């Protein structure tokens, strides 16, 4: 299924979500179980927390860029069907995925310099200890303007701007679905026939490509709407932090940040359910893979060849396979 460019985007998006969710497992164990029990705040622990912040932020931004690319890709395929082989080529897909991987490193640069590791010496029972934890760097603690600029960049360019673009594209995709549904209702009054070899004609079934295209668009709309539900609250929160400043960040964001992380993790997990629920070919190939790899059942060559050839998500290129003649 990877031969279709849109599946390559979905694969990159799935890999990014999986890496984010896997990295959260040791972080949750350390932050909520190990750290409250020991309360020693070692240097290695602070380094790991700092790594988690940057790693999760960068990959989550990558996921945002890939989701935006997915929406734009579907828009181009439906808006310009005659030129989709130019706009939606494999080379452009590779370029888009590469940009979606490099651009987050640039967008997250302010975050890299905002947070640093600080040390705090304490004396307990005549013994001196040094506690290490992550905090705002000295520059951003003293200069409130820089901190506001950082949150403005985060809110506008990483959260709100992609959400606005996705809202416009999702609205257009939904409108396209309604137009296609209305067109189908009009065409139901006509009957299409194909000519057989003996010269007679027979009624044909509706083309499956249209139904696959509709299911694909519905699935992508569900992914985009789920993304908007997850990202819009974070963007609005960061927007108000950019207005109010450091106090709102320390009082509210650090307390409700875990809720936003849960929303992001749930969004990545639900995407897989959406793929299975809304795509028959994905379910079929996934079932064949499970039977072959886990249960040791070999897949028949005919079924495997058919599964490799057919693709429900590669619906952007259409070919005229039937000659239709409408009868009164």
pLDDT of res. 249: 67
Max mean pLDDT range (58-67, 156-165, 240-249) = 58-67
Q: Is 70 contained in some domain?
A: yes
- Report residue 309's pLDDT band, with 50, 70 and 90 as the boundaries: very low
- Report residue 27's pLDDT band, with 50, 70 and 90 as the boundaries: very high
Give the separation between CA 250 and CA 248, rounded to whole angstroms. 6
Give the separation between CA 263 and CA 244, rounded to whole angstroms. 24
pLDDT of res. 276: 67
Give the separation between CA 77 and CA 85, rounded to whole angstroms. 9
Whether residue 80 is predicted with pLDDT greater than 60 in this model: the reply is: yes
**Contact in structure between 93 and 5 (CB atoms under 8 Å):** yes
Give the separation between CA 6 and CA 220, rounded to whole angstroms. 11
Give the separation between CA 223 and CA 210, rounded to whole angstroms. 20
Enumerate residues 6+ apart whose C-beta is below 8 A from 155: 235, 236, 238, 239, 241, 242
- Report residue 310's pLDDT band, with 50, 70 and 90 as the boundaries: very low
Give the separation between CA 318 and CA 294, rounded to whole angstroms. 36
pLDDT of res. 49: 92
How many CA atoms lie within 13 Å of 59's alpha carbon, on the beta-carbon side? 22
Q: Is 90 contained in some domain?
A: yes
Pairing label, strands 201-203, 193-195: antiparallel
Whether residue 26 is predicted with pLDDT greater than 90 in this model: the reply is: yes
Span 299-326, mean pLDDT? 40
pLDDT of res. 278: 64
Mean pLDDT lowest among 162-166, 303-307, 316-320: 316-320
pLDDT of res. 187: 66
Q: Is 323 contained in some domain?
A: no
Number of domains in the chain: 1
Q: Residue 167 sits in which domain range? A: 5-309
State the chain's mean pLDDT as an integer. 76
Q: Is 76 contained in some domain?
A: yes
Give the separation between CA 230 and CA 233, rounded to whole angstroms. 7
pLDDT of res. 313: 40
Give the separation between CA 87 and CA 75, rounded to whole angstroms. 11
* Residue found under tokens 């960040």: 249
Q: Which helix (H) or strand (E) holds 181?
A: helix 161-187
Span 202-211, mean pLDDT? 55
- Report residue 59's pLDDT band, with 50, 70 and 90 as the boundaries: very high
How many C-beta atoms lie closer than 10 Å to residue 163's C-beta?
Answer: 21
pLDDT of res. 99: 94
Whether residue 58 is predicted with pLDDT greater than 50 in this model: the reply is: yes
Q: Is 162 contained in some domain?
A: yes
Give the separation between CA 155 and CA 186, rounded to whole angstroms. 45
Q: Is 314 contained in some domain?
A: no
Q: How far out from the chain centre does Cα 217 lie?
A: 15
Q: Is 317 contained in some domain?
A: no
Span 315-322, mean pLDDT? 34
**Contact in structure between 4 and 314 (CB atoms under 8 Å):** yes
Helix-strand-coil split of the chain, %, nearest 5: 75, 10, 20
Q: Is 326 contained in some domain?
A: no
**In terms of pLDDT, which residue wins out, 45 or 176?**
45
CATH code of 231's domain: 1.20.1070.10
Q: Provide the percentage of residues in the chain whose pLDDT is more than 70.
A: 74
Per-residue pLDDT tens over the stretch 184-200: 666 655 545 444 555 54
How many C-beta atoms lie closer than 10 Å to residue 64's C-beta?
Answer: 26
Give the separation between CA 84 and CA 248, rounded to whole angstroms. 47
């Amino acid at each position: 299924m990877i031969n279709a460019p849109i599946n390559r985007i979905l694969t990159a998006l799935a890999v990014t979500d999986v890496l984010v969710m896997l990295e959260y497992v040791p972080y949750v164990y350390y932050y909520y179980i190990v750290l409250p029990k020991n309360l020693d705040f070692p240097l290695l622990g602070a380094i790991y927390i700092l790594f988690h912040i940057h790693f999760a932020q960068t990959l989550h931004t990558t996921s945002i860029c890939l989701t935006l690319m997915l929406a734009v890709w579907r828009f181009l395929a439906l808006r310009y069907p005659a030129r989709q082989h130019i706009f939606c080529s494999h080379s452009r897909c590779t370029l888009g995925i590469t940009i979606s991987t490099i651009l987050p490193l640039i967008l997250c640069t302010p975050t890299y310099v905002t947070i640093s590791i600080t040390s705090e010496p304490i004396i307990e029972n005549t013994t001196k200890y040094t506690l290490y934890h992550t905090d705002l760097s000295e520059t951003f603690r003293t200069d409130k303007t820089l901190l506001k600029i950082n949150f403005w960049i985060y809110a506008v360019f990483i959260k709100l701007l992609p959400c606005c673009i996705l809202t416009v594209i999702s609205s257009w995709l939904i409108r396209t679905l309604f137009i296609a549904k209305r067109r189908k209702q009009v065409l139901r009054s006509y009957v299409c026939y194909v000519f057989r070899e003996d010269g007679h004609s027979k009624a044909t079934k509706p083309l499956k490509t249209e139904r696959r295209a509709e299911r694909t668009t519905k699935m992508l709309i569900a992914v985009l709407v789920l993304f908007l539900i997850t990202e819009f609250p974070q963007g609005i929160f960061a927007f108000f932090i950019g207005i109010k400043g450091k106090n709102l960040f320390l009082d509210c964001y650090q307390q409700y940040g875990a809720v936003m992380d849960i929303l992001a993790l749930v969004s990545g997990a639900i995407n897989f359910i959406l793929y299975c629920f809304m795509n028959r070919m994905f379910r079929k190939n996934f079932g064949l893979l499970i039977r072959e790899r886990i249960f040791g059942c070999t897949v028949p060559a005919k079924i495997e060849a058919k599964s490799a050839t057919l693709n429900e998500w590669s619906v952007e290129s259409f070919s005229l396979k039937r000659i239709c003649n409408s009868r009164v």
